[in-house]
A = this chain, B = another copy of it.
Amino acid sequence: MTVTYTAAVASSSIGCFLKLLFRWRGSLYKLLWREFLLFTIAYYTLSILYRFALNDTARMIAKYCQEFGNLIPLAFVLGFYVSVVVARWWEQFNKIPWPDRMALFVTAHVHGHDERARLMRRTMMRYLCLAFVITMHSISPGVKKRFPTFTHMTQAGFMLPNEQKVIEDIKTPHNKYFVPLVWVTSLVTRARKEQKIKDDFAVKTLTDEINAYRGCLGGLFNFDWISIPLVYTQVVTWAAYTFFFSCLMGRQFVDAGKTEDVFIPVFTFLQFFFYMGWLKVAECMVNPFGDDDDDFDINSVIDRNLQVSYLIVDEMHSELPELIKDQYWD
């Protein structure tokens, strides 16, 4: 669903980023308010316990927490971890394949205005889009919800019933995303035989492009399969939650003489927002195909791809405006 705000910060005027703080969709507050509520409740529960049942052991624990709570360099480990996550997030986005490239090649190289040629061009593009749908079906929960089975893809027009039968008859324990790509390849070979494609160069161009498309889909699978090692994620999570656990204790009002008695520990709360927000950045970006407000809106990409593909290879095929001299001509 993708929160786009670039246009709002086009010029760096006064309080440029400041106005972004008042957004709700995809915001820190929307992501954090439940955790913050829990933290606040826990803090004040403890606070009451302290004030009414304060003994020396409790005071000692509080002081111990205060002293040692900063032993873990949380900023450091979050900084490095989020760097890794951001890099993977953008790499994943770049692995989303766009069929526009193939559409341009198809319209350039698969000639003919008869029905057979049109059918070939449309089918090629449809197979590419289908391969993308099958891939995302096993990666993105949103796509899975929209197309729970092959039948739903058939209903939505990405597959035809006879194709569905063929793909279901293939016996393999592995994901079948490559099947439509094999079909396009065969279709290219057949189009060459039927002289819809005029030369061998075009065959090379088209099969290269199919393979590049396959590479993108394979890349998406790899990102889904190989997560950042669990132990790294655990170390970071561990550090963050430990830190706030020690804050719960250590930021209480303990010693009448030394610290002020602050009823609303503003800065502890701000710190919570800051560090937890940073962790939330990682949580949002670690799986960019999920349901978060900020995750890539794959379902609209799927629709757009089929529409634009058909537009390029069919409706616009060989429709060229008349050539007229431009206004700078001589």
Main secondary structure of the interface of A (DSSP, over half): helix
Q: Report yes or no: B207 in contact with A105, Cβ–Cβ below 8 A.
A: yes
Chain A 303-330 interface residues, beta-carbon cutoff 8 Å to B: 304, 306-308, 310-312, 315-329
Chain A 67-89 interface residues, beta-carbon cutoff 8 Å to B: 68-69, 71-73, 75-77, 79-80, 82-84, 86
Does A183 have its Cβ within 8 Å of any Cβ on chain B? Answer: yes
Does A203 have its Cβ within 8 Å of any Cβ on chain B? Answer: yes
Chain A 121-161 interface residues, beta-carbon cutoff 8 Å to B: 122-123, 126, 141, 157, 160
Chain A 188-245 interface residues, beta-carbon cutoff 8 Å to B: 188-190, 198-205, 207-208, 210-211, 214-215, 218, 222-227, 229-239, 241-242
Task: Give the docked Cα–Cα distance between A178 and B304 (Å).
Answer: 13
Q: Report yes or no: B328 in contact with A229, Cβ–Cβ below 8 A.
A: no
CB of A36, distance to nearest CB on chain B (Å): 10
Chain A 252-272 interface residues, beta-carbon cutoff 8 Å to B: 260, 262, 267-268, 270-271
Task: Give the docked Cα–Cα distance between A18 and B240 (Å).
Answer: 10
Chain A 21-39 interface residues, beta-carbon cutoff 8 Å to B: 21, 23, 25-28, 31, 34-35, 38
Does A50 have its Cβ within 8 Å of any Cβ on chain B? Answer: no
Task: Give the docked Cα–Cα distance between A233 and B160 (Å).
Answer: 45
**Which residues from chain B contact A294 at a C-beta distance below 8 Å?**
229-231
Does A101 have its Cβ within 8 Å of any Cβ on chain B? Answer: yes
Q: Report yes or no: A273 in contact with B238, Cβ–Cβ below 8 A.
A: yes
Supply 25 A–B pairs (Cβ within 8 Å), ascending by A. Answer: A3-B230, A4-B227, A12-B31, A17-B233, A20-B233, A21-B237, A72-B270, A72-B274, A76-B76, A104-B185, A105-B207, A108-B189, A119-B323, A160-B321, A170-B315, A174-B308, A190-B320, A201-B203, A231-B281, A231-B294, A232-B281, A238-B270, A238-B274, A238-B277, A242-B270
**Which residues from chain B contact A320 at a C-beta distance below 8 Å?**
183, 186-187, 190
**Which residues from chain B contact A23 at a C-beta distance below 8 Å?**
230, 234
Q: Report yes or no: B9 in contact with A267, Cβ–Cβ below 8 A.
A: no
Query: Which of B9, B200, B227, B315 is the one whose CB lies under 8 Å from A283?
Result: B9
Q: Report yes or no: B326 in contact with A126, Cβ–Cβ below 8 A.
A: yes
Task: Give the docked Cα–Cα distance between A292 and B271 (Å).
Answer: 32
Query: Which of B2, B239, B260 is the one whose CB lies under 8 Å from A225?
Result: B2
Task: Give the docked Cα–Cα distance between A26 and B12 (Å).
Answer: 11
Q: Report yes or no: A20 in contact with B64, Cβ–Cβ below 8 A.
A: no
Q: Report yes or no: A204 in contact with B205, Cβ–Cβ below 8 A.
A: yes
Task: Give the docked Cα–Cα distance between A105 and B218 (Å).
Answer: 16
Q: Report yes or no: A224 in contact with B4, Cβ–Cβ below 8 A.
A: yes
Q: Name the residue on B nearest A183 (C-beta).
A: B320
Does A282 have its Cβ within 8 Å of any Cβ on chain B? Answer: yes
Per-residue B-contact encoding for A268-306, CB less than 8 Å = 1, 0 else: 101101100111111111110111111110000000101
